[in-house]
Amino acid sequence: MELKLTNAKTVENIKAEEIILSGAFENLKATAVTSDGDTITIKTEGEVEATSAAYGYVQLSENATDAGAKILAMLEVDNLDAYIDAESFALENGLLGFDVDVYGKKLEISNDELAPLVTLEGYKVDSVKISDDKTSFRLYVKTEKSSLDDAVSALNGKALEIDSKAVGGDGIYVEITARTAN
């Protein structure tokens, strides 16, 4: 994930260890930081943890700012309706498979009933396999891409929708930001 803070008034040579991530960002690790003095860009590894409405905090140490004082930015993190496991991507025989966790919801239907209720923008759903605990499923979609990285990159910005008949409420809509775990 990439975080950008503007009007931060930072020094230009910030080190990743001068950044503390907490709240919904506590499982993220800053891996690279760039700054032009006004905008700071923080590249991270890990996953955002927000199973209900929450905030993520980015704290810059006093060494990272022009003022010599700490800066704390609080960012609202929307409730996560679904999560795609970056370590689950696999490409085999023209099918891209990956795991989708439906936070706090149960899939009380069969695989055959779920498949037509899942849509992925620009893709044809081939099949699904619901987990034993019914809180996630493996989604298989047809792809023309021949490498895993290309297939996963092509998912970026695509809409994943799960109909309310599968999960209740208003259903689930997620815009995908995807990359392989490697």
In tens, the pLDDT along 58-90 reads: 888 888 877 777 888 888 776 567 778 878 999
Burial string for 116-127 (b: 16+ CB within 10 Å, else e) reads ebbbbeebebbb
Q: Where are the domains of the chain?
A: 2-77, 83-175
Q: Which of 5-9, 51-55, 82-86 has the lowest mean pLDDT?
A: 51-55
Q: Determine the pLDDT at residue 65.
A: 79
CATH class of 83-175: mainly beta
Whole-model pTM: value is 0.59
pLDDT of residue 79: 58
